[in-house]
């Protein structure tokens, strides 16, 4: 008897092989030299640092030189300086463990063939791409094995087709293969397969494998700790005695610690501290999540761009009746994961198609959807469900094509732009004036759509002249941004008249955007060195408000005066220009 699920696996695997073959061809023809940049560069950086430089104590100048050579000068922001003067990679090294075998092979080929052994020359580019493809194929293979533990062949085939045709997995795999998501998808599928296999046959080999894999994923991304909810619920439900429960459960944190020992040594030796939990400017703020935006917004809403997973939430009712333990573990995990993912302050996760951090959860969510499919009895319910899935596939494939063309924007989608391009593959006189503003463009106001209202208002000014002696910071003022502004799609123009007693010394105007949790955006301008001395210099500073992360965020304005010059401000005014969308 034919296996439909095997056929689907083969077809999808061949499709990805063709896709990555074209990428390998681009490397061969020198059309592409940058296979690893931005966040992916940060995860990978440990390997060239250790193997080429012989140390993990590297500096930003070295990492920037690699980006300049291979990635056309993309900013190397991945290293931050600590109090001891050393630079620390803000990304965890777990993904470097996964990339290590391909790196070793690539490194050997680079030496044999006379290429640079810097981790980025052509052999490493081949190795990086082949490794990504390998994990995509591994994910497909173990996803099928996992689903066959629960479902017949036809339902398994349908579920595999759904995740690759109706979700953002495809786009992420093809365009963001250097990030953690495709690797975690595969590793989570492997973890779940061995975990549920253990739950079925109690073979401790599967318990060990599941713990090893889950521990590895925790070294890649700390939020993977949430997957521990599954063994906690399952083992607690099936416990016969306390000793057996704890012996089975504690093997998971044991391997999580073991996989993270190298990173702890790295933090201690290079960073000077044993624990450096978060080196990003963003944080997870559980008390202020962005649930609605994360799930439904036009910018990145998970269920807007991958609506097929609405079926998972419907399936929870079926799971409650059919498999109570799986229901509680799926419910607790999915709720916790979505809450944490949406609580990351930059909840849109930079450039992506939809909410990319959800991709690693799909192996579990598909199990719930499979139980829903099993429950369908009447022809009407089957037709309704099949129609919804088909529409979700068509929508995803069409929007994936729009993303590939660049008309579905990776970062700045808005409601107006979404409906402007909806259902259209070719748009005469295509424009981007409906997108969210380009915060890197100080002149964006000149290119907004003519249906938007422009509002200008003064939001801050000094009442009197203020001055500060040398080496004394001076607070100028504080602006409660969303109390003064209707939207953060705003440009600020700062006009000031300032004098310095010594134009050979430095002083800086600092404008920091802060929340009650942290400061996350800085605008800095030199206001002393090189200016005319002992006269008032008029300056105009123009910049865009950043994406405001919390309702009560504010901008604090002050002079940072590290030297001896006396500074006097005669005039200081901030004028805001905002677009008001209809």
What percentage of the chain reaches a pLDDT higher than 70? 99
Is the residue at 511 inside a domain? yes
Residue 239, pLDDT above cutoff 80:
no
Of 246, 221, 243, 218, residue with least CA distance to 231: 246
CB atoms within 10 A of CB 443: 9
Is the residue at 493 inside a domain? yes
391 and 486 within one domain: no
Q: Tell me: the pLDDT tens digits for 462-514?
A: 989 999 998 988 999 999 999 999 999 999 999 999 999 999 999 999 999 99
CA distance 532 to 551: 41
Residue 242, pLDDT above cutoff 70:
no
Q: Using an 8 Å Cβ cutoff, are 337 and 222 in contact? A: no
Is the residue at 442 inside a domain? no
Is the residue at 436 inside a domain? no
Residue 8, pLDDT above cutoff 80:
yes
Q: Tell me: the pLDDT tens digits for 529-554?
A: 999 999 999 999 999 999 999 999 99
The pLDDT value recorded for residue 310 is 98
CA distance 512 to 490: 15
Residue 40, pLDDT above cutoff 60:
yes
Of 165, 212, 169, 179, residue with least CA distance to 193: 212
For the chain, the domain total comes to: 2
The pLDDT value recorded for residue 247 is 81
387 and 486 within one domain: no
235 and 106 within one domain: yes
20 and 157 within one domain: yes
Q: Tell me: the pLDDT tens digits for 174-210?
A: 999 999 999 999 999 999 999 999 999 989 999 999 9
CA distance 39 to 36: 8
What percentage of the chain reaches a pLDDT higher than 90? 89
183 and 118 within one domain: yes
* pTM of the predicted model as reported, rounded to 2 decimal places: 0.95
Alpha helices in 450-527 (DSSP H): 481-484
User: Can you name the residues that pair with 576 across neighbouring β-strands?
Assistant: 457, 492
388 and 491 within one domain: no
The pLDDT value recorded for residue 198 is 94
392 and 475 within one domain: no
394 and 320 within one domain: yes
Is the residue at 409 inside a domain? no
CA distance 460 to 575: 7
On the 0-12 / 13-18 / 19+ scale of CB atoms within 10 A, 509 is: buried
Is the residue at 435 inside a domain? no
72 and 142 within one domain: yes
Residue 75, pLDDT above cutoff 80:
yes
The pLDDT value recorded for residue 98 is 97
Among 345, 369, 403, the domain-final residue is 403
Overall average pLDDT of the 117-139 stretch: 97
Range of the domain at 465: 453-580
502 and 378 within one domain: no
3-class SS shares of the chain: helix, strand, coil, % to 5: 55, 15, 30
| Mean pLDDT, the chain, integer | 94
The token duo for 306 is: 């991958």
What residues have CB less than 8 Å from 85, skipping those under 6 apart? Answer: none
CA distance 536 to 557: 19
Ramachandran category for residue 18: left, alpha or beta (phi over 0 → left; psi -120 to 50 → alpha): alpha
Whichever domain contains 489, its CATH number is 2.60.120.260
The token duo for 255 is: 């391997």
Q: Tell me: the pLDDT tens digits for 367-417?
A: 999 999 999 999 999 999 999 999 999 999 999 999 999 999 999 999 999
**3-state DSSP call for residue 380?**
helix
On the 0-12 / 13-18 / 19+ scale of CB atoms within 10 A, 240 is: exposed
Give the position of tokens 């300086």: 81
CA distance 95 to 93: 6
The pLDDT value recorded for residue 35 is 84
Q: Tell me: the pLDDT tens digits for 415-458?
A: 999 999 999 989 999 999 999 999 999 889 988 998 999 999 99
144 and 33 within one domain: yes
Residue 1, pLDDT above cutoff 60:
no
The pLDDT value recorded for residue 254 is 95
Angle between helices 229-237 and 181-201 (to 10 degrees): 10
Is the residue at 73 inside a domain? yes
Is the residue at 446 inside a domain? no
What residues have CB less than 8 Å from 451, skipping those under 6 apart? Answer: 582
234 and 296 within one domain: yes
What residues have CB less than 8 Å from 152, skipping those under 6 apart? Answer: none
User: Can you name the residues that pair with 344 across neighbouring β-strands?
Assistant: 284
Give the confidence band of 460 by pLDDT, cuts at 50, 70, 90: very high
The pLDDT value recorded for residue 240 is 62
Residue 445, H or E segment: none
**3-state DSSP call for residue 160?**
helix
Positive or negative CA dihedral for 347, 353, 354, 357? Answer: negative
């Amino acid at each position: 008897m034919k296996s439909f699920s095997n056929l689907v696996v083969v077809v999808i695997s061949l499709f990805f092989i063709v896709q990555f073959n074209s990428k390998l061809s681009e490397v061969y023809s020198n059309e592409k030299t940058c296979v690893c940049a931005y966040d992916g560069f940060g995860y990978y950086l440990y390997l060239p640092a250790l193997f080429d430089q012989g140390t993990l104590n590297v500096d930003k100048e070295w990492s920037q030189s690699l980006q300049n050579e291979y990635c056309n000068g993309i900013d190397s922001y991945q290293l931050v300086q600590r109090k001891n003067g050393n630079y620390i990679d803000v990304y965890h090294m777990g993904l470097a463990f996964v990339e290590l075998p391909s790196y070793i092979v690539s490194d050997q080929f680079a030496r044999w063939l006379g290429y640079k052994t810097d981790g980025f020359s052509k052999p490493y580019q081949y190795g990086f791409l082949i490794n990504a493809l390998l994990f995509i194929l591994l994910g497909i293979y173990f996803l099928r094995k996992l689903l066959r533990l629960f479902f017949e062949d036809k339902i398994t085939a349908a579920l595999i087709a759904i995740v690759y045709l109706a979700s953002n997995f495809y786009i992420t795999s093809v365009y963001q293969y250097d990030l953690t998501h495709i690797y975690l998808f595969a590793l989570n599928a492997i973890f779940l397969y061995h975990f549920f296999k253990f739950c079925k046959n109690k073979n401790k080999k599967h318990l060990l494998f599941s713990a090893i894999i889950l521990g590895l994923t925790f070294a890649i991304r700390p939020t993977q700790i949430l997957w521990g909810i599954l063994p906690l619920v399952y083992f607690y439900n099936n416990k016969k005695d306390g000793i057996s429960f704890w012996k089975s459960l504690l093997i998971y944190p044991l391997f999580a610690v073991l996989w993270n020992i190298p990173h702890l040594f790295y933090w201690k030796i290079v960073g000077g501290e044993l624990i450096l939990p978060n080196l990003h400017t963003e944080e997870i703020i559980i008390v202020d999540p962005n649930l609605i935006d994360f799930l439904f917004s036009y910018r990145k809403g998970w269920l807007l761009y991958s609506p097929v997973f609405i079926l998972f939430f419907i399936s929870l009712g079926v799971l409650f009746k059919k498999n109570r333990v799986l229901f509680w573990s799926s419910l607790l995990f999915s709720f916790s994961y979505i809450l944490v993912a949406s609580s990351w302050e930059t909840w849109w996760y930079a450039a992506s198609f939809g909410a990319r951090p959800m991709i690693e959860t799909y192996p579990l969510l598909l199990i719930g959807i499979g139980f829903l499919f099993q429950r369908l009895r009447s022809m009407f319910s089957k037709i309704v469900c099949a129609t919804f899935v088909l529409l979700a596939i068509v929508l995803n494939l069409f929007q994936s094509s729009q993303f590939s063309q660049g008309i579905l924007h990776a970062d700045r989608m808005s409601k107006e732009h979404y409906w402007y391009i909806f259902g259209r593959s070719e748009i005469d006189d295509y424009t981007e004036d409906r997108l969210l503003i380009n915060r890197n463009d100080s002149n964006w106001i000149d290119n907004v759509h003519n249906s938007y209202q422009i509002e200008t208002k003064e939001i801050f000014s000094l009442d009197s002249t203020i001055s500060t002696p040398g080496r004394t910071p001076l607070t100028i003022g504080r602006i409660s941004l969303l109390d003064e502004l209707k939207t953060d799609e705003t440009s600020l123009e700062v006009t000031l008249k300032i004098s310095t007693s010594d134009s050979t010394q430095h002083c800086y105007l600092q404008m920091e955007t802060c929340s009650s949790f942290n400061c996350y955006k800085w605008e800095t301008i030199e206001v002393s060195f090189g200016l005319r001395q002992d006269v008032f210099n008029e300056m105009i500073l123009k910049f865009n408000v950043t994406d405001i992360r919390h309702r009560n965020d504010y901008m604090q304005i002050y002079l940072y005066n590290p030297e001896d010059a006396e500074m006097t401000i005669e005039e200081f005014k901030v004028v805001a220009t905002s677009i008001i969308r209809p």
